[in-house]
Amino acid sequence: MTVLLHAAGGILLLCTGTGFGFTAAARIRDCQRQLHSLSRLFGYLAELLNAQALAGPELLHRAARRLEFADFCPAGAAALADLQLPSCLCEALQTLRSAEESPRLTACAALHRLAALCEEEACSRAEQYRAARLLWPRLGACLGVLTAILLW
């Protein structure tokens, strides 16, 4: 009976470790998706600013009305620095502040540059996700098996 309980516990630890591995890989995927959406937001703001000379609050209000950008644009946001950036891209705040105080054409170029940087980082995270999707669940399973062996 105890052998059966040990085997069931070992299988449970194996499954738990694998689940933790999938969760770790999913976090990287979520960050990659957020970066891609943020890149699309910056591109949208740049195109909107290029087509119409709108003030910052009006630009953000129009972006907030679109469902795919609502997560980044809080209600009543008046400046680009008020955007809710993903935790994996907080260093973009300095560039946002400089784009906010720039003339219209310079701000468009800065927004395009930010879109390109976010897309480049999203591609990098996609590569990390592909590697993590293969590695982390296996590593978690091995850790579960090791824990089961040590507890046996």
Q: Is the pTM of this model over 0.85?
A: no
What does pLDDT average to in each consecutive run of 10 residues of the chain (152 residues)?
Answer: 75 78 83 83 81 72 74 71 68 52 64 82 85 82 77 73
Q: 53-92 burial, b for 16+ CB within 10 Å, e for fewer?
A: eeebeebbbbbbeeeebeebbeeebeebebbebbebbeeb
pLDDT at 108: 77
pLDDT at 79: 67
Q: 131-142 burial, b for 16+ CB within 10 Å, e for fewer?
A: ebbeebbebbbe
